[in-house]
Structures are given as structure tokens and as C-alpha cells.
Structure 1
Amino acid sequence: NGKEASSGSHEGTENGKEASSGSHEGTEDGREASSGSHEGTENGKEASSGSHEGTENGKEASSGSHEGTEDGREASSGSHEGTENGKEASSGSHEGTENGKEASSGSHEGTEDGREASSGSHEGTEDGREASSGSDEGTEDGREASSGSHEGTENGKENGISSIARGDTKVNDRHSHNRKNNNKDNKSKKGALNFLFRI
């Protein structure tokens, strides 16, 4: 439009304005890329100093990051290869435990979710918990039948005092009860007869 291009403008820059001094050829819209920018970074902005090639959007991966960790961030120090999302599995974790967390110390292999079965648990008890000490084999849910219980009692609970003894006391009670009733009946019968005789 016949106006003078600003002094020192480069030929062919957009709309005749001067590109800022020292701009790199081919940067977007003729503006200067920040000093020291890497070739080919997104929109000519400088990638943070020391960034690794190929990290997401030219941002610097945190120092010492492992190659191939998710989004170029540093996996916590000493993390095991292949743990979920590059986070460090807790120290001393067993291989293959759920989500890389450490199974509690001394856990038995194959217990549910890698947690430690309580000490001294019997193999094969439900969910790997310890059956109470001295429990009888085969009681329901591996809990200890109360002391002195008879085999085969319902769910391993102890029957009260031996059933025979308890039965005896019941039998005796019943007999004595019957005797009392008989006495009452006899009295009432006699009373009725006397009453009739009076009439």
C-alpha cells in the first residue's frame, strides 16, 4: 500500500514488518523463536533446557527418568521395570503380587491377594486366615471348635455339659415332677370323693 516498510525489514517477511532481530528462517509468522530452541519443536518455542528427544510436546522429562515411562515423567527412584504406570513398587515386593504392592512380610505363596496369612495358619483354611489354635480338622470355616466339643456337632461349637449327664438330670427332673403331679391328682381325687360322699 505504498507505505515504507520499517527500516531494515527483511524481504518477504509477512506484510512488510520487520522480523525481530536474529529470527530463524522459517519460524512461524517470522517471529523469533526463543533463543537456543531446538529445531522442529512445536510452534518454535524453546523446549526446556536438556529435554530428551521425543518427549511429549517438547517438555523436559524430569531428570533421570527411565526411557519409555508413561508421558516421560520420572518413575520413582528404584522402581521395578514393568510395574503399573511406572510407580515404584514398595521395597521388597514379591514379583507378581497384585498391582505391585508389597505382600506383607512372610506371606505364604498363593494366599488371597498376596497378604500374609496369620502366623501358623493351616493350609487350605478359608481365605488363608489362621484357624484358631488347636482347632479340629474339618470344622466349618476352619474356626476352632470350643474346647472339648464332640466331633460332628453343628458348626463345631461345643455342646454344653455332656449330653448324657444333662439328659439324666432332665429325666430325673421329669420323674420328680411327675411324682408331684401324681400327688396333686390323688389329693384332688380324694377331695372330690369326699365331697360326693358328703352330699
Structure 2
Amino acid sequence: MRVGRLAPILLTAALAGCGSFGAVGLGPVDQQRVVDNDTLPPVAAVPIEKSALPPPAADPNAPGLPATPPASATLPPADAATLPPATPAAPAQVTAPNTSTARAELGRTDLLGGWSLKSGGESCQLFMTLTSWTGGYRASTRGCTSPTLKGISAWSLSGSQVVLAGSGGSPVARLSPAGTNRFEGSADSGQPVSFSR
């Protein structure tokens, strides 16, 4: 009687080991597919003609190279003793950029970050970001004592000229490029102003 109780469990375990009823062919999964015809229709027999290809057209941009090397072009294997000494390449000449071109290429991202701001005998820091602000983009100063420099809160780029503005967006100073990472100009009061890094 114990075997009778274990038989369904053993049969279930055996079938579970096979994966599924379809895997052993006991379920509807094992249905045959009907394939109409798995061969391609015949192609009409056409005779194939054989002929030589014409030579390739000459490319007007290609350097003039002979199609086949002349018989004298074959070289014996090179060995290190017969090779001529290598000559070093001439160093590339570096030219200074044209300042008028450099001014025309000034972009907003060139001005981002911290700068050393000077006006008269005062020196402090100027920070410029691309956050939209009244008067252009957000600017701030640190360590400035004069009301003019302390009040800078915005900046904008007008061509190659940098315009520093106060809290209401009114211009405080206008500066032009005076070299790499250096701008010079004057405040609206006439006092010279510069920033550099």
C-alpha cells in the first residue's frame, strides 16, 4: 500500500525531470508543422559569357604610380648595415596667433570661472558663471572694498568686449582683450579696471 501512494509522486518527479509534457511528446506542443515546399523554384538556364574586364579608369587625384613595377624595381632584402642613417624631421614652426582673430573667437565659456580683478590700488576676485541674470549672466566678487567692484552682479559679452554690470543690470565697466587671459578697460567713473588669470 505504501508503494501505491509513492507511485504518483515518483511519476510526477520523473516527468518534472524531463522538463515538461511537451518535451517527452505527451502534450499538444508536439504538433507537426506543415511545410508547403522548402525548395526554391528552378532558375531558367542562361548561358554565362566569359570576358576580360577592362582596365580601371585612371583617377585624376591619384598620384602617378605605374600599374606594374619595372623589372629593375625589385630590391634585394635590406639589412641594417646597408640602410642609410635616418635624418631627423625638421621641427614644425610655431606662429603666434593673430590677436585680431583671437579677439573675434572669444566665447562665453572662455570667461567662466575665477579671475583676479584690479582697479586702482584694489585687488579682489571676480567669478563668472552661465546662470542667466539681470544684465546677462551671474557674476560675483569676493574681497572687493569699493562700491563699484563690490556691486558687480552680472556680465555679458558684446562682440569681444566684456561688460560688467551692477545689481540693476546697468553697465559698471567695459573691458577688451589685452592678451591671453587678460582684459583691460575702465569703469563708468573713468577708473581703469582689469581682470586676468
Give the greater-gyration-radius structure (CA).
1
TM range (shorter): under 0.3
Q: TM-score, normalised by structure 1?
A: 0.17
Structure having the larger proportion of residues in strand: 2
> Which protein has greater RCO, CA pairs closer than 8 Å, 6+ apart?
2
Structure having the larger proportion of residues in helix: 1
Q: TM-score, normalised by structure 2?
A: 0.17
